[in-house]
Amino acid sequence: MTAQRAGKFLIGANCQTAANSTGSRRVRIRLNGATVIALVMDNDPDGTLTCPLFASVLYDLSANDYVTCDVFQDSGGSLDISAVTDWSPQFWMVKMG
């Protein structure tokens, strides 16, 4: 997402991965394809429950700055991101002032 004007923005991402007790899960938000401005990790997921992840940051953006989100897991196999109405997956940004 790209900031059309400079200002303070609340930026967030949330998702839920399938249950699996191996490895870790990570959601990060990056500024302009490089700088990590928010990161959340679960290094010990419960294998019987899905793994919800939520990252957010209040950040000053310049006009034309952009933010991206990526999700990572290293369980050794494929894990789906769960589709949960009004919750997962979502990536959002709102100008605060």
* pLDDT surpasses 90 at 79: no
Say which residue, 78 or 61, is predicted with more confidence: 61
Q: Tens digits of per-residue pLDDT, 20-38? A: 888 889 999 999 999 999 9
- Confidence (pLDDT) at 31: 98
Q: Would you say residue 2 lies in a domain?
A: no
Give the chain's radius of gyration (CA, Å): 14
Under 8 Å between Cβ of 84 and 23: no
Domain count, the chain: 1
Q: Would you say residue 67 lies in a domain?
A: yes
CB atoms within 10 A of CB 10: 13
Q: Which domain holds residue 35?
A: 7-95
* pLDDT surpasses 80 at 60: yes
pTM confidence score: 0.88
* pLDDT surpasses 80 at 59: yes
Q: Tens digits of per-residue pLDDT, 34-45? A: 999 999 998 888
Q: Would you say residue 39 lies in a domain?
A: yes
